[in-house]
Chain A
Amino acid sequence: MNPTAWGMNRAASAALLLLLGACTNLTAVSTFATLGSNATSNTTAIDSHLPAAQERARMASPERIVERKQQAIQAADQVKVADLGMKTLSLYFAVLAQLSSDKTIDVKSSAASIAGSLKSLGVIEPTISAPATSLITLLLTVPLDVWRQEASAKLIDGANEYVLKLGVALKDFAENTANVYDLDISQANVYYRDLATRSTDPAIRVMLDEWRVQHIMTYAKARDQAKVLAQALTQIVQGQSDLYDKRTELTGAELRRLLARYQDDIFSAAKLF
Protein backbone atom coordinates (compact mmCIF):
# COMPACT_ATOMS: atom_id res chain seq x y z
CA MET A 1 0.00 0.00 0.00
CA ASN A 2 1.27 3.43 -0.88
CA PRO A 3 2.18 5.22 2.36
CA THR A 4 0.97 8.46 0.86
CA ALA A 5 -2.53 7.01 0.75
CA TRP A 6 -2.51 7.33 4.52
CA GLY A 7 -1.39 10.89 4.48
CA MET A 8 -3.90 12.93 6.31
CA ASN A 9 -3.82 16.19 8.13
CA ARG A 10 -4.91 17.05 11.64
CA ALA A 11 -8.36 18.14 10.46
CA ALA A 12 -8.99 14.73 8.96
CA SER A 13 -7.81 13.15 12.17
CA ALA A 14 -10.21 15.26 14.19
CA ALA A 15 -13.05 14.40 11.83
CA LEU A 16 -12.35 10.71 12.33
CA LEU A 17 -12.38 11.07 16.07
CA LEU A 18 -15.71 12.86 15.81
CA LEU A 19 -17.08 10.04 13.68
CA LEU A 20 -15.88 7.52 16.23
CA GLY A 21 -17.60 9.46 18.99
CA ALA A 22 -20.79 9.44 16.97
CA CYS A 23 -20.95 5.65 17.06
CA THR A 24 -24.02 4.28 18.75
CA ASN A 25 -24.38 5.07 22.43
CA LEU A 26 -26.55 2.35 23.95
CA THR A 27 -25.51 3.15 27.52
CA ALA A 28 -29.09 3.93 28.63
CA VAL A 29 -30.32 0.60 27.26
CA SER A 30 -27.40 -1.28 28.80
CA THR A 31 -27.84 0.40 32.21
CA PHE A 32 -31.58 -0.24 32.27
CA ALA A 33 -31.13 -3.87 31.19
CA THR A 34 -28.43 -4.42 33.84
CA LEU A 35 -30.71 -3.04 36.55
CA GLY A 36 -33.59 -5.18 35.26
CA SER A 37 -31.41 -8.27 35.31
CA ASN A 38 -30.18 -7.58 38.86
CA ALA A 39 -33.67 -6.86 40.21
CA THR A 40 -35.06 -10.10 38.79
CA SER A 41 -32.11 -12.28 39.74
CA ASN A 42 -33.22 -12.53 43.39
CA THR A 43 -36.29 -14.66 44.00
CA THR A 44 -36.65 -14.11 47.77
CA ALA A 45 -39.95 -12.22 47.51
CA ILE A 46 -41.31 -14.75 45.00
CA ASP A 47 -40.25 -17.69 47.19
CA SER A 48 -42.09 -16.15 50.16
CA HIS A 49 -45.35 -17.16 48.48
CA LEU A 50 -44.85 -20.65 49.92
CA PRO A 51 -44.60 -19.68 53.63
CA ALA A 52 -47.51 -17.27 53.08
CA ALA A 53 -49.66 -20.17 51.87
CA GLN A 54 -48.39 -22.45 54.67
CA GLU A 55 -49.30 -19.89 57.33
CA ARG A 56 -52.73 -19.51 55.74
CA ALA A 57 -53.22 -23.28 56.04
CA ARG A 58 -52.01 -23.33 59.64
CA MET A 59 -54.52 -20.71 60.76
CA ALA A 60 -57.42 -21.72 58.49
CA SER A 61 -60.89 -22.23 59.87
CA PRO A 62 -61.64 -25.96 60.57
CA GLU A 63 -63.95 -26.36 57.58
CA ARG A 64 -61.29 -24.98 55.15
CA ILE A 65 -58.13 -26.52 56.62
CA VAL A 66 -57.87 -29.54 54.24
CA GLU A 67 -58.38 -27.34 51.20
CA ARG A 68 -55.83 -24.78 52.39
CA LYS A 69 -53.24 -27.50 53.12
CA GLN A 70 -53.70 -28.82 49.58
CA GLN A 71 -53.22 -25.29 48.25
CA ALA A 72 -50.04 -24.92 50.31
CA ILE A 73 -48.68 -28.06 48.62
CA GLN A 74 -49.57 -26.60 45.20
CA ALA A 75 -47.87 -23.34 46.21
CA ALA A 76 -44.49 -25.13 46.15
CA ASP A 77 -44.99 -25.94 42.45
CA GLN A 78 -46.27 -22.43 41.74
CA VAL A 79 -43.11 -20.97 43.28
CA LYS A 80 -40.95 -23.22 41.06
CA VAL A 81 -42.75 -21.92 37.96
CA ALA A 82 -42.38 -18.31 39.13
CA ASP A 83 -38.68 -18.84 39.95
CA LEU A 84 -38.12 -20.11 36.41
CA GLY A 85 -39.99 -17.06 35.14
CA MET A 86 -37.73 -14.73 37.18
CA LYS A 87 -34.59 -16.50 35.93
CA THR A 88 -35.78 -16.25 32.32
CA LEU A 89 -36.61 -12.56 32.65
CA SER A 90 -33.25 -11.93 34.34
CA LEU A 91 -31.48 -13.79 31.51
CA TYR A 92 -33.32 -11.74 28.87
CA PHE A 93 -32.13 -8.50 30.44
CA ALA A 94 -28.60 -9.88 30.99
CA VAL A 95 -28.35 -10.78 27.30
CA LEU A 96 -29.74 -7.37 26.28
CA ALA A 97 -27.27 -5.66 28.63
CA GLN A 98 -24.36 -7.57 27.12
CA LEU A 99 -25.52 -6.91 23.57
CA SER A 100 -25.88 -3.19 24.19
CA SER A 101 -22.67 -2.83 26.20
CA ASP A 102 -19.79 -0.91 24.63
CA LYS A 103 -17.41 -3.62 25.85
CA THR A 104 -19.03 -6.10 23.44
CA ILE A 105 -17.69 -4.17 20.45
CA ASP A 106 -14.51 -2.70 21.97
CA VAL A 107 -11.65 -3.36 19.54
CA LYS A 108 -9.44 -0.40 20.48
CA SER A 109 -6.49 -2.51 21.67
CA SER A 110 -6.53 -4.65 18.52
CA ALA A 111 -6.76 -1.54 16.33
CA ALA A 112 -3.81 0.02 18.13
CA SER A 113 -1.84 -3.19 17.69
CA ILE A 114 -2.64 -3.35 13.96
CA ALA A 115 -1.67 0.31 13.49
CA GLY A 116 1.57 -0.28 15.38
CA SER A 117 2.41 -3.26 13.20
CA LEU A 118 1.60 -1.36 10.01
CA LYS A 119 3.92 1.40 11.22
CA SER A 120 6.71 -1.13 11.91
CA LEU A 121 6.21 -2.61 8.45
CA GLY A 122 6.52 0.85 6.93
CA VAL A 123 3.01 0.79 5.54
CA ILE A 124 2.14 3.97 7.38
CA GLU A 125 4.36 6.85 8.32
CA PRO A 126 5.10 7.41 12.02
CA THR A 127 3.67 10.93 11.80
CA ILE A 128 0.19 9.67 10.96
CA SER A 129 0.16 6.76 13.36
CA ALA A 130 -2.48 8.32 15.66
CA PRO A 131 -5.06 9.14 12.97
CA ALA A 132 -4.39 5.79 11.35
CA THR A 133 -5.23 4.09 14.64
CA SER A 134 -8.46 6.10 14.80
CA LEU A 135 -9.35 5.13 11.26
CA ILE A 136 -8.67 1.44 11.86
CA THR A 137 -10.70 1.56 15.09
CA LEU A 138 -13.52 3.23 13.22
CA LEU A 139 -13.42 0.74 10.35
CA LEU A 140 -13.54 -2.18 12.78
CA THR A 141 -16.06 -0.67 15.18
CA VAL A 142 -18.72 0.63 12.80
CA PRO A 143 -19.83 -2.74 11.38
CA LEU A 144 -19.79 -4.30 14.86
CA ASP A 145 -21.74 -1.32 16.20
CA VAL A 146 -24.40 -1.57 13.49
CA TRP A 147 -24.55 -5.30 14.09
CA ARG A 148 -25.11 -5.02 17.85
CA GLN A 149 -27.66 -2.19 17.40
CA GLU A 150 -29.66 -4.27 14.93
CA ALA A 151 -29.35 -7.33 17.15
CA SER A 152 -30.53 -5.32 20.21
CA ALA A 153 -33.53 -3.99 18.28
CA LYS A 154 -34.31 -7.47 16.95
CA LEU A 155 -34.20 -8.96 20.45
CA ILE A 156 -36.41 -6.19 21.88
CA ASP A 157 -38.82 -6.53 18.96
CA GLY A 158 -39.07 -10.32 18.90
CA ALA A 159 -39.21 -10.83 22.66
CA ASN A 160 -41.46 -7.91 23.54
CA GLU A 161 -44.80 -9.76 23.65
CA TYR A 162 -43.43 -12.43 25.96
CA VAL A 163 -41.32 -10.12 28.12
CA LEU A 164 -44.42 -8.01 28.79
CA LYS A 165 -46.54 -11.09 29.46
CA LEU A 166 -43.91 -12.58 31.76
CA GLY A 167 -43.19 -9.28 33.53
CA VAL A 168 -46.90 -8.61 34.13
CA ALA A 169 -47.48 -12.17 35.36
CA LEU A 170 -44.53 -11.96 37.77
CA LYS A 171 -45.72 -8.54 38.95
CA ASP A 172 -49.13 -10.13 39.59
CA PHE A 173 -47.47 -13.05 41.38
CA ALA A 174 -45.65 -10.66 43.72
CA GLU A 175 -48.80 -8.59 44.22
CA ASN A 176 -50.79 -11.73 44.97
CA THR A 177 -48.16 -12.83 47.50
CA ALA A 178 -48.48 -9.42 49.18
CA ASN A 179 -52.25 -9.92 49.26
CA VAL A 180 -51.91 -13.35 50.86
CA TYR A 181 -49.66 -11.88 53.57
CA ASP A 182 -52.23 -9.11 54.11
CA LEU A 183 -54.88 -11.82 54.50
CA ASP A 184 -52.55 -13.71 56.87
CA ILE A 185 -52.46 -10.56 59.00
CA SER A 186 -56.25 -10.50 59.23
CA GLN A 187 -56.31 -14.27 59.74
CA ALA A 188 -53.82 -13.92 62.64
CA ASN A 189 -56.13 -11.37 64.24
CA VAL A 190 -59.06 -13.79 64.02
CA TYR A 191 -57.07 -16.91 64.90
CA TYR A 192 -55.23 -15.70 68.01
CA ARG A 193 -58.15 -13.70 69.38
CA ASP A 194 -60.45 -16.70 68.95
CA LEU A 195 -57.94 -18.84 70.86
CA ALA A 196 -57.74 -16.16 73.56
CA THR A 197 -61.55 -16.06 73.80
CA ARG A 198 -61.55 -19.72 74.83
CA SER A 199 -59.37 -18.94 77.86
CA THR A 200 -60.27 -16.88 80.91
CA ASP A 201 -56.64 -16.78 82.09
CA PRO A 202 -55.32 -13.21 81.58
CA ALA A 203 -51.71 -14.46 81.27
CA ILE A 204 -52.64 -16.79 78.42
CA ARG A 205 -54.52 -13.99 76.70
CA VAL A 206 -51.49 -11.70 76.99
CA MET A 207 -49.20 -14.43 75.62
CA LEU A 208 -51.52 -15.13 72.67
CA ASP A 209 -51.76 -11.43 71.94
CA GLU A 210 -47.96 -11.16 71.87
CA TRP A 211 -47.82 -14.06 69.40
CA ARG A 212 -50.49 -12.34 67.30
CA VAL A 213 -48.48 -9.12 67.13
CA GLN A 214 -45.21 -10.96 66.39
CA HIS A 215 -46.76 -12.89 63.51
CA ILE A 216 -48.37 -9.74 62.12
CA MET A 217 -44.98 -7.97 62.11
CA THR A 218 -43.36 -10.89 60.27
CA TYR A 219 -46.16 -10.99 57.69
CA ALA A 220 -46.04 -7.21 57.20
CA LYS A 221 -42.30 -7.33 56.46
CA ALA A 222 -42.72 -10.11 53.88
CA ARG A 223 -45.70 -8.27 52.37
CA ASP A 224 -43.68 -5.08 51.94
CA GLN A 225 -40.85 -6.97 50.21
CA ALA A 226 -43.35 -8.50 47.80
CA LYS A 227 -44.81 -5.03 47.13
CA VAL A 228 -41.36 -3.57 46.40
CA LEU A 229 -40.76 -6.35 43.88
CA ALA A 230 -44.20 -5.78 42.33
CA GLN A 231 -43.37 -2.09 41.96
CA ALA A 232 -39.97 -2.82 40.41
CA LEU A 233 -41.52 -5.30 37.97
CA THR A 234 -44.09 -2.69 37.00
CA GLN A 235 -41.27 -0.29 36.11
CA ILE A 236 -39.37 -3.01 34.29
CA VAL A 237 -42.46 -3.75 32.19
CA GLN A 238 -42.94 -0.03 31.48
CA GLY A 239 -39.27 0.27 30.49
CA GLN A 240 -39.51 -2.72 28.15
CA SER A 241 -42.61 -1.15 26.60
CA ASP A 242 -40.67 2.07 26.00
CA LEU A 243 -37.73 0.12 24.56
CA TYR A 244 -40.12 -1.56 22.12
CA ASP A 245 -41.73 1.74 21.11
CA LYS A 246 -38.29 3.31 20.52
CA ARG A 247 -36.53 0.21 19.18
CA THR A 248 -35.57 1.96 15.94
CA GLU A 249 -33.99 4.88 17.83
CA LEU A 250 -32.33 3.21 20.82
CA THR A 251 -29.78 6.01 21.14
CA GLY A 252 -32.37 8.79 21.36
CA ALA A 253 -32.47 11.31 24.18
CA GLU A 254 -36.17 10.68 24.77
CA LEU A 255 -35.57 6.99 25.45
CA ARG A 256 -32.75 7.86 27.86
CA ARG A 257 -35.15 10.20 29.71
CA LEU A 258 -37.92 7.58 29.79
CA LEU A 259 -35.68 4.81 31.10
CA ALA A 260 -34.16 7.07 33.75
CA ARG A 261 -37.63 7.53 35.32
CA TYR A 262 -37.83 3.85 36.26
CA GLN A 263 -34.39 3.30 37.65
CA ASP A 264 -34.99 4.36 41.27
CA ASP A 265 -37.77 1.83 41.83
CA ILE A 266 -35.90 -0.96 40.09
CA PHE A 267 -32.71 -0.18 42.01
CA SER A 268 -34.59 -0.25 45.32
CA ALA A 269 -35.73 -3.80 44.55
CA ALA A 270 -32.27 -4.85 43.41
CA LYS A 271 -30.67 -3.80 46.70
CA LEU A 272 -33.53 -4.93 48.95
CA PHE A 273 -32.65 -8.60 49.31
Chain B
Amino acid sequence: MPHAAVLAPAIADPVQPILDLVSSLIQSARAIDHFIDNQPNPYSPTCQQLRRKEQSIIDSANDLSELAIQQITESISDAVTHLQSNIDAATETIKQIASTKKAITIVAALLAAAAGIASGGTLAAVPAILTLASQVYAAVASANG
Protein backbone atom coordinates (compact mmCIF):
# COMPACT_ATOMS: atom_id res chain seq x y z
CA MET B 1 0.00 0.00 0.00
CA PRO B 2 1.35 3.50 -0.81
CA HIS B 3 2.72 5.50 2.09
CA ALA B 4 0.60 8.29 3.55
CA ALA B 5 0.60 11.71 1.91
CA VAL B 6 1.93 14.45 4.18
CA LEU B 7 2.16 18.10 3.21
CA ALA B 8 4.70 20.55 4.59
CA PRO B 9 3.22 22.39 7.61
CA ALA B 10 3.42 25.74 5.80
CA ILE B 11 0.79 24.63 3.26
CA ALA B 12 -2.75 25.10 4.56
CA ASP B 13 -4.94 22.01 4.59
CA PRO B 14 -8.02 22.77 6.71
CA VAL B 15 -9.75 19.46 5.93
CA GLN B 16 -6.80 17.27 6.96
CA PRO B 17 -7.87 17.01 10.65
CA ILE B 18 -11.25 15.56 9.58
CA LEU B 19 -9.54 13.10 7.23
CA ASP B 20 -7.17 12.08 10.05
CA LEU B 21 -10.15 11.53 12.36
CA VAL B 22 -11.78 9.31 9.72
CA SER B 23 -8.50 7.38 9.41
CA SER B 24 -8.47 6.82 13.19
CA LEU B 25 -12.02 5.46 13.09
CA ILE B 26 -11.03 3.20 10.16
CA GLN B 27 -8.23 1.80 12.33
CA SER B 28 -10.74 1.07 15.11
CA ALA B 29 -13.08 -0.70 12.69
CA ARG B 30 -10.12 -2.61 11.28
CA ALA B 31 -9.14 -3.76 14.78
CA ILE B 32 -12.62 -5.24 15.24
CA ASP B 33 -12.39 -6.89 11.78
CA HIS B 34 -9.07 -8.39 12.78
CA PHE B 35 -10.47 -9.69 16.06
CA ILE B 36 -13.47 -11.31 14.33
CA ASP B 37 -11.24 -12.78 11.59
CA ASN B 38 -9.31 -14.63 14.28
CA GLN B 39 -12.36 -16.10 16.03
CA PRO B 40 -13.18 -19.78 15.42
CA ASN B 41 -16.81 -18.80 14.84
CA PRO B 42 -17.20 -15.31 13.29
CA TYR B 43 -21.01 -15.70 13.53
CA SER B 44 -21.12 -16.09 17.33
CA PRO B 45 -23.28 -13.73 19.46
CA THR B 46 -20.12 -11.97 20.68
CA CYS B 47 -18.99 -11.35 17.11
CA GLN B 48 -22.49 -10.11 16.22
CA GLN B 49 -22.33 -7.60 19.07
CA LEU B 50 -18.89 -6.47 17.93
CA ARG B 51 -20.26 -5.96 14.42
CA ARG B 52 -22.99 -3.67 15.85
CA LYS B 53 -20.24 -1.59 17.45
CA GLU B 54 -18.24 -1.64 14.21
CA GLN B 55 -21.30 -0.48 12.25
CA SER B 56 -21.64 2.46 14.59
CA ILE B 57 -17.98 3.38 14.02
CA ILE B 58 -18.41 3.02 10.23
CA ASP B 59 -21.49 5.26 10.26
CA SER B 60 -19.68 7.95 12.27
CA ALA B 61 -16.66 7.81 9.94
CA ASN B 62 -18.88 8.03 6.84
CA ASP B 63 -20.71 11.05 8.31
CA LEU B 64 -17.37 12.78 8.88
CA SER B 65 -16.27 11.85 5.37
CA GLU B 66 -19.40 13.52 3.98
CA LEU B 67 -18.61 16.69 5.92
CA ALA B 68 -15.11 16.64 4.46
CA ILE B 69 -16.18 16.10 0.86
CA GLN B 70 -18.56 19.07 0.98
CA GLN B 71 -15.75 21.38 2.12
CA ILE B 72 -13.36 19.89 -0.44
CA THR B 73 -15.68 20.45 -3.42
CA GLU B 74 -16.32 24.06 -2.33
CA SER B 75 -12.55 24.66 -2.26
CA ILE B 76 -12.13 23.09 -5.71
CA SER B 77 -14.87 25.26 -7.25
CA ASP B 78 -13.41 28.44 -5.75
CA ALA B 79 -9.83 27.65 -6.83
CA VAL B 80 -10.85 26.68 -10.38
CA THR B 81 -12.68 29.99 -10.87
CA HIS B 82 -9.65 32.05 -9.83
CA LEU B 83 -6.99 29.90 -11.49
CA GLN B 84 -8.59 30.04 -14.92
CA SER B 85 -7.80 33.76 -15.39
CA ASN B 86 -4.09 33.14 -14.68
CA ILE B 87 -4.06 30.29 -17.18
CA ASP B 88 -5.78 32.45 -19.82
CA ALA B 89 -3.19 35.24 -19.38
CA ALA B 90 -0.27 32.80 -19.73
CA THR B 91 -1.86 31.18 -22.78
CA GLU B 92 -2.11 34.64 -24.37
CA THR B 93 1.62 35.16 -23.72
CA ILE B 94 2.43 31.86 -25.43
CA LYS B 95 0.41 33.01 -28.44
CA GLN B 96 2.31 36.31 -28.50
CA ILE B 97 5.65 34.50 -28.39
CA ALA B 98 4.47 32.24 -31.21
CA SER B 99 3.43 35.31 -33.22
CA THR B 100 6.84 36.85 -32.70
CA LYS B 101 8.50 33.63 -33.85
CA LYS B 102 6.26 33.70 -36.90
CA ALA B 103 7.32 37.29 -37.60
CA ILE B 104 10.96 36.18 -37.41
CA THR B 105 10.18 33.37 -39.85
CA ILE B 106 8.60 35.90 -42.21
CA VAL B 107 11.67 38.13 -42.02
CA ALA B 108 13.81 35.10 -42.79
CA ALA B 109 11.64 34.21 -45.78
CA LEU B 110 11.67 37.82 -46.98
CA LEU B 111 15.44 37.94 -46.82
CA ALA B 112 15.68 34.59 -48.59
CA ALA B 113 13.50 35.95 -51.38
CA ALA B 114 15.60 39.10 -51.62
CA ALA B 115 18.76 37.05 -51.72
CA GLY B 116 17.34 34.86 -54.46
CA ILE B 117 16.33 37.84 -56.59
CA ALA B 118 19.61 39.71 -55.99
CA SER B 119 21.63 36.73 -57.11
CA GLY B 120 19.71 36.70 -60.36
CA GLY B 121 18.08 33.42 -59.56
CA THR B 122 14.47 34.46 -59.88
CA LEU B 123 13.35 30.88 -60.09
CA ALA B 124 15.22 30.11 -56.87
CA ALA B 125 13.37 32.94 -55.17
CA VAL B 126 9.93 31.62 -56.10
CA PRO B 127 9.62 29.02 -53.31
CA ALA B 128 10.72 31.59 -50.72
CA ILE B 129 8.18 34.12 -51.99
CA LEU B 130 5.46 31.48 -51.98
CA THR B 131 6.43 30.56 -48.40
CA LEU B 132 6.34 34.20 -47.40
CA ALA B 133 2.96 34.71 -49.06
CA SER B 134 1.44 31.68 -47.38
CA GLN B 135 2.79 32.78 -44.01
CA VAL B 136 1.48 36.31 -44.38
CA TYR B 137 -1.87 34.88 -45.47
CA ALA B 138 -1.96 32.57 -42.45
CA ALA B 139 -0.98 35.41 -40.11
CA VAL B 140 -3.72 37.67 -41.48
CA ALA B 141 -6.27 34.88 -41.30
CA SER B 142 -5.24 34.19 -37.71
CA ALA B 143 -5.46 37.87 -36.75
CA ASN B 144 -8.96 38.05 -38.22
CA GLY B 145 -10.00 35.08 -36.12
Contact = CB atoms under 8 A, between A and B. Distances in A.
Interface in A151-169: 151, 154-155, 158-159, 161-166, 168-169
B62 A121 contact: no
B5 interface: yes
Contacts of B82: 161-162
Nearest to A220: B1
Interface residues of A, number: 79
A110 B108 contact: yes
Interface in B1-58: 1-8, 10-13, 15-16, 19, 22-23, 26, 29-30, 32-33, 36, 42-43, 47-48, 51, 54-55, 57-58
Contacts, number: 224
Interface string A225-250: 00110110110011001000000000
Interface in B49-99: 51, 54-55, 57-59, 61-62, 65-66, 68-69, 72-73, 75-80, 82-84, 86-87, 89-91, 93-94, 97-98
A183 interface: yes
Contacts of B13: 168, 171-172
B118 interface: yes
A111 B107 CA distance: 10
Interface in A73-96: 75, 78, 81-82, 84-85, 88-89, 91-92, 95-96
The secondary-structure label for the interface of chain B is helix
A216 to B, nearest CB: 10
A261 interface: no
A169 B86 CA distance: 19
Contacts of A61: 55, 59
A162 B54 contact: no
Q: Which 6 A-B pairs have the closest CB atoms?
A: A120-B115, A117-B111, A166-B79, A159-B86, A169-B75, A234-B5
Given A168-B13, A179-B65, A186-B30, 12 more contacts: A99-B93, A110-B107, A111-B108, A154-B90, A169-B75, A171-B13, A172-B15, A176-B22, A182-B26, A183-B65, A185-B33, A189-B33
Interface of A: 49, 56, 61, 64, 68, 71, 75, 78, 81-82, 84-85, 88-89, 91-92, 95-96, 98-99, 104-105, 107, 110-111, 113-114, 116-118, 120-121, 140, 144, 147-148, 151, 154-155, 158-159, 161-166, 168-173, 175-176, 179-180, 182-183, 185-187, 189-190, 193-194, 196-197, 205, 224, 227-228, 230-231, 233-234, 237-238, 241
6 contacts: A71-B66, A155-B86, A162-B82, A165-B75, A182-B30, A224-B2
